[in-house]
Amino acid sequence: MRKLILCLIIALCACVATRAQSSPCPQGLVCITPEAARTALENSDKKEVSSSLKIELAKLMGEKTQLEASAVRYTAIIDALLKAFKKSHKFGIININ
């Protein structure tokens, strides 16, 4: 009889110890460890920074392309104006082009 009571007490202590170590997770939710939460937060921060840098890079590349196109256009205008206003100057017998 003593052995049975001793076994029940040990089993009860084991159940209490096991229950005390596990924290219940509410139904419908996912429980993760604090370390996993920190890792997930760091990864999301890196992704946000990465996506904002990609957006900024795309804006700057668009501005660069626009400035290069403007430079080509201005060069063509200057070339056309120089050709349009280029005149032959005649000084006596010598012609200067």
How far apart, in Å, are the Cα atoms of 65 and each of 51, 62, 71, 73, 82?
Answer: 21, 5, 10, 12, 26
How far apart, in Å, are the Cα atoms of 76 and each of 43, 55, 73, 93?
Answer: 49, 32, 5, 34
- Which residue in this structure is represented by tokens 């993760």? 32
pLDDT value at residue 87: 65
Spans of the chain below 50 pLDDT:
none
